[in-house]
Amino acid sequence: MTAGSISASNRLQPDPRGEQMPEHGLGRLAGWCHDHRRRVLAGWIVAVIAVIGLAQATGSRLDNNFALAGSPSQQAQQLLSTRFPVEQGDTAQLVLSASSALDDRANAATIDRLVHALQPLGHVSGVQSPISAGGAGQPSADRRIGFVVVRFDAVAAKLPASAVDRVIATARRFARPGLEVALGGAPIEQVVSAAPGSAETIGLLAAVVVMLLAFGSVIAMGLPILIALLGVGMGFGLLEALSHLVTVPTFGPDMMVMIGLGVGIDYALFVVTRYRQSLSEGHPPRDATIVALTTAGRAVLFAGSTVVIALLGLFVVGLGFMDGLALATIVAVALVLLGALTLLPAIFGFIGGTIDRLHVPGLLSRRSAETGGGFWSRWSAVVQRRPWSCAAVALAVLVVLAMPLFSMRQAFSDAGNDPMSLTTRQAYDLLAQGFGPGFNGPLVVAADLRGPHASATITGLDSAIRRTRGVSSVAPPVFNAARDAAVIVVYPTTAPQSAATALLVDRMRTQVIPEVTAQGGATAFVGGETAAGVDTSTYLAGRLPWVIGTVVLLAFLLLMVVFRSLMIALKAAAMNLLSIGAAYGVIVAVFQWGWLRDLFGTAPGPIDPWIPLMMFTVVFGLSMDYEVFLLSRMREEWLRTGDNTKAVSYGLVSSARIITAAAAIMVCVFASFVIGDPLRILDVFGLGLAVAVLVDATVVRMMLVPAVMQLLGTANWWLPAWMQRLTPRFEVEATPQTPFPQPVAVKVAE
């Protein structure tokens, strides 16, 4: 034997039969981030500072513009802007409530000083006093409530916030004992918002408790929260800059926080769980990092991409504010996803194997969240022994919860739903008290006049509107200087968000106006903020079935490719509809019907039309996460054994614990907005998401799915041969092999 051969025989070399976790894609990214952890951390710090600086430099331009281009209300607005240029700007109402008559000497003097103080302010084009000759309709019948009309030189979305703030500050200086001042109208609503609630704090505290119970480790608990907070923080800065390019409603940042915290903690939770599992199996930190990203990280990337793809579908709706809401959510998901896939592996490099050093005594467990056992084994046996009963119970629960959705009424909620502390709500209540609820949502009839009989047509239209059922009062027609256009302001008897008001808009458009203008001389459009809301609500309600159909079809095709099965894809599509239906039903029962109103502290009202659209796309993405996590375990066992019963049991037991923990965190975050946020629309959205996730992770994934799959047997995994050939192969998770070779002695021949 030569010296060379002896030397070779003493070296340890990889076993050629040993398998490695392939370091390509996410595996290579994980290794690079782990090895260059200081560079990655520095990059994130620089990015955070840059985004904060950008936000400070640009500021925000949030815009509650819900108008629908080309609608009758927009045609009315366009006619006003071209024929009445002085009145093209939006107006605000400074509502006054006095203990004595407004035209008493002391009150009159205060109102005169208020009007003179407002007139020279920037962007104010006119001020109309309730006690002047032109303000005949501005004091109430008892003359104790009235309003000053402040007209701006631009619509609310284009007004500088500072200009509106100066009007608010000036008006508030004139409030005194015996004279209350409140402000309302679109410009005021653009800048006035409720003080931040405690939603984020409550949600984070609940997530801390859940993860401490699940991990028992302080560091393991803190990492998901750190990733979520960094992603959401950067999202805030980016959204402020993007608000100058797209229409982002004032509640868009709150939406971003809600979704960002929920999915950010969830995604990081999956990666941290897999990292701890790999450490407990004896893998060194670098290899554990690669395993975590190549398995859980790949599933997280799939889940986040699914949410983003679903949200991209909202851009086809064709409304600016829906684009802004979708963009806000996409920014949040993308940033927390980026943090989970880059910053988290870098942090693993810093903490190494000490992730469990700080722990809660008695709670620390290195057992994988995927090993299940105990309760879930017993539960799986119950479901599989009685699949018909379990399926029937689960289906009954979902159907009962979904029943109220068939009475859902979609309309934009008005300022009567604002918190009592806001001046917009105070102004709304005072106007309703002094003039009736419909005074808060006037309808503006804009008429284009032609020919010699135009004036007579407007006179007839004015008379016809006054006789219309549902009309409280009508202001006299106002003609422009050229007398080729006229405006009639109509006050309904009911509130802006009332179904009766929407019926009045339809009645005026389809009956009253056509009957009068049929003889020629004028073309009239019903506009104003209330009519614009009716137009947009109708449009969005009509788009909802198309969005649902598109998303369900996408889910079907995606799951058919991933699991190579027709029945699994069909079942998933049906169950997605059931879980979202249950969430819709609950928000209708609580916020529209008024059930549990004392608990939730809200008055009955319609469901804002953007909520069902946003809820469906977000819930679809989140439910796909749990669906893939559960079914991938089932398919893994099916491919190994060919036994459907074992596959269903293994999938349920191995995934139940992590799904339960992840869902509990999301439910806590979403539900915290219901109890900790003063805005009704966020209450509705938060409760809907919380119910959807809770139902999806419990009734659907832990009961209905295994029961139905047990009943279907081997049919679960059937795909026609011709589709097998045409369907591309795609694996959500790479199979975790040993990430580093086992050393063995290589025998060298003599």
pLDDT surpasses 70 at 5:
no
- Residue 373: left (phi > 0), alpha (psi -120 to 50), or beta? left
pLDDT value at residue 69:
85
Structural tokens at position 34: 């782990």
pLDDT value at residue 396:
95
Q: What distance in Å separates the CA atoms of residue 252 and residue 258, rounded to the nearest whole number? A: 10
pLDDT value at residue 365:
52
pLDDT value at residue 748:
37
Task: Give the residue, 556 or 735, on which the prediction is more confident.
Answer: 556
Measure the N-to-C terminal CA separation of the chain; round to a whole number of Å.
5
pLDDT value at residue 297:
86
pLDDT value at residue 367:
45
Per-residue pLDDT band for 336 (boundaries 50, 70, 90) equals very high
Phi, psi of 125 (to 5 degrees): -100, -15
* Tens-place pLDDT, residues 221-272: 888 889 988 998 898 888 888 888 888 888 888 888 888 888 888 888 888 8
* Tens-place pLDDT, residues 308-325: 888 887 888 888 889 999
Q: What distance in Å separates the CA atoms of residue 539 and residue 6, rounded to the nearest whole number? A: 82
Per-residue pLDDT band for 159 (boundaries 50, 70, 90) equals confident
Per-residue pLDDT band for 732 (boundaries 50, 70, 90) equals low
To the nearest whole percent, how much of the chain has pLDDT over 70? 90
* Tens-place pLDDT, residues 576-611: 888 899 999 999 999 999 898 877 777 888 999 999
Average pLDDT over residues 721-747: 57
Average pLDDT over residues 350-374: 65
Per-residue pLDDT band for 14 (boundaries 50, 70, 90) equals very low
Cβ(265)–Cβ(224) below 8 Å = yes
Average pLDDT over residues 146-169: 88
pTM reported for the whole predicted model: 0.84
Residue with tokens 């539960």: 379
Please give the C-alpha separations between residue 365 and each of 205, 215, 216, 736, in angstroms, as whole numbers.
Answer: 21, 7, 7, 21
pLDDT value at residue 362:
60
Per-residue pLDDT band for 471 (boundaries 50, 70, 90) equals very high
- Dihedral of the alpha carbons of 204, 210, 214, 217, in degrees to the nearest 10: 40
Average pLDDT over residues 213-222: 79
Task: Give the residue, 34 or 628, on which the prediction is more confident.
Answer: 34
pLDDT value at residue 1:
38
pLDDT surpasses 80 at 676:
no
* Tens-place pLDDT, residues 53-63: 888 888 778 78
Phi, psi of 147 (to 5 degrees): -145, 145
pLDDT surpasses 50 at 43:
yes
pLDDT surpasses 90 at 154:
no
pLDDT value at residue 198:
63
